C-alpha cells in the first residue's frame, strides 16, 4: 500500500512540474543581458546599447537546439572574460544528443550562464544589483536566439575582442570529432584526407565551405525525417570569424538529432581544446575535411 501511494506521489510530482515555455526562457535571457550591461558600465567601457541590441535580427524559424548552442557560445565568451581577469577557464557543459530538444533544456542553459556570471562577479568583488525579472508571453525560440545574439555581441564589447580564428578552429575540431564518432558507429571506413590548404583563405572561404557542410547535413536529416531549418540568412558576403563560429555552432546543433536518430544518444560532443595561432586557412581546410567525412554517409539506419 505504501508503494502504491509513493508511485502516485511521484506521478503527481511529474504532472505538476512547471512547464517551461520560450517566454520563461526569454525572461531569463533579459536578466543575463542586464548583468552584462551592468558590467560594461562597471568597467567604464563605452558602448552603444542600441547598436549592440541590433547585432543580429534573424527571422527564420529556429529550433530550441539552435538556441541552446547559442547559449554555449556565450559560455565560451564568459571564459574569455574570466581569463582576461585572471580567473581559470571552466569548460562549458555538453549534453546527450536528442532528436527533439525542448525549452526546458534552454532554460537550464540560461541558469548556467547566470551562475557563471555571478561567480565571476563574486570572485572579482563586484556587487551587482538585484535585477527585476519580468514576465512575457507569446515568445518563440527565435526571440530567445535573437536575445542571445545581443548578449553575445555585448560580451564582445566587454571582452574588447571578438572570437578569434583559434576559437573557431576549436569548434570546427568538435565537428570533426563528432563526425568521427558517427562514422565509427555506422561502421564506415574513413579514408579521407585533408583538403588542399588555401594559404590566403578568408573568413568568407571558411563560411562558404561551412554552408556546404550544413546543406549536406540537412540532406541526411531529410533521409531521417528530421525537419530542416532554413539557414540561408546566415550566409554572408563579408563574414567575420564570429559569423563562421555561429555557423559552426549551428552545424554542431544540427548534428545532435542525427546522432540521436541513429542511436548515439549517450555520446556527448567532445569538449573544445585550446588552440593558438590559427588562421582562416586552418579553418577552411579542416571544414573541407569535415565535408569529405560527411560525404561518406550515403544512407542512415535507426539503431
For residues 68 and 108, what is the distance between their CA atoms, to the nearest angstrom?
9
What pLDDT is recorded for position 5? Answer: 47
Express each pLDDT in 163-216 by its tens digit: 999 999 999 999 999 999 999 999 999 999 999 999 999 999 999 999 999 999
Position 19 confidence tier, pLDDT thresholds 50, 70, 90: confident
pLDDT tens-digit map of 21-74: 999 999 999 999 999 999 999 999 987 776 666 666 788 999 999 999 999 999
Question: Lowest-confidence range among 209-213, 239-243, 290-294?
Answer: 239-243
Contact (CB, 8 A) for 254 and 83: no
Residue 14: the pLDDT is 46
What is the tens place of the pLDDT at every residue in 111-154? Answer: 999 999 999 999 999 999 999 999 999 999 999 999 999 999 99
pLDDT value of residue 92: 87
Taking the mean position of all CA atoms in its chain, how far away is CA 256?
A: 11
How far are the Cα atoms of 38, 62, 124, 150 from residue 51, in angstroms, in the given order? 16, 23, 28, 9
Task: Look at the alpha carbons of 41, 46, 48, 54 in this order and tell me if their dihedral is positive or negative.
Answer: negative
| Residue that is written with C-alpha cell 546566415 in the block | 234
Kind plus residue range of the DSSP H or E element containing 284: helix 280-295
pLDDT at 15 over 60: no
Longest Cα–Cα distance in the chain = 74
Amino acid at each position: 500500500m505504501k508503494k502504491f501511494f509513493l508511485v502516485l506521489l511521484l506521478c503527481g510530482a511529474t504532472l505538476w512540474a512547471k512547464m517551461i515555455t520560450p517566454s520563461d526562457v526569454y525572461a531569463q535571457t533579459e536578466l543575463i543581458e542586464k548583468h552584462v550591461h551592468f558590467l560594461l558600465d562597471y568597467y567604464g567601457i563605452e558602448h552603444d546599447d542600441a547598436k549592440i541590441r541590433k547585432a543580429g535580427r534573424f527571422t527564420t524559424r529556429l529550433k530550441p537546439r539552435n538556441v541552446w548552442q547559442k547559449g554555449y557560445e556565450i559560455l565560451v565568451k564568459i571564459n574569455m572574460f574570466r581569463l582576461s581577469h585572471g580567473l581559470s577557464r571552466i569548460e562549458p557543459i555538453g549534453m546527450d544528443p536528442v532528436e527533439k530538444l525542448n525549452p526546458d533544456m534552454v532554460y537550464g542553459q540560461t541558469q548556467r550562464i547566470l551562475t557563471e556570471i555571478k561567480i565571476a562577479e563574486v570572485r572579482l568583488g563586484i556587487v551587482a544589483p538585484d535585477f527585476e525579472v519580468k514576465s512575457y508571453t507569446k515568445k518563440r525560440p527565435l526571440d530567445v536566439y535573437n536575445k542571445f545574439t545581443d548578449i553575445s555581441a555585448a560580451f564582445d564589447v566587454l571582452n574588447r575582442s571578438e572570437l578569434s580564428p583559434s576559437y573557431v578552429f576549436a569548434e570546427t575540431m568538435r565537428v570533426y570529432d563528432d563526425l568521427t564518432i558517427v562514422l565509427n558507429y555506422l561502421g564506415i571506413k574513413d579514408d579521407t584526407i585533408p583538403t588542399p590548404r588555401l594559404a590566403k583563405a578568408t573568413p568568407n572561404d571558411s563560411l562558404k565551405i561551412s554552408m556546404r557542410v550544413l546543406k549536406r547535413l540537412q540532406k541526411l536529416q531529410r533521409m531521417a525525417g528530421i525537419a530542416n531549418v532554413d539557414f540561408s540568412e546566415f550566409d554572408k558576403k563579408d563574414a567575420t570569424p564570429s559569423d563562421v563560429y555561429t555557423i559552426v555552432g549551428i552545424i554542431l546543433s544540427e548534428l545532435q538529432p542525427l546522432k540521436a536518430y541513429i542511436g548515439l544518444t549517450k555520446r556527448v560532443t567532445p569538449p573544445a581544446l585550446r588552440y593558438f595561432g590559427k588562421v582562416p586557412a586552418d579553418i577552411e581546410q579542416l571544414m573541407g575535411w569535415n565535408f569529405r567525412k560527411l560525404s561518406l554517409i550515403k544512407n542512415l539506419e535507426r539503431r
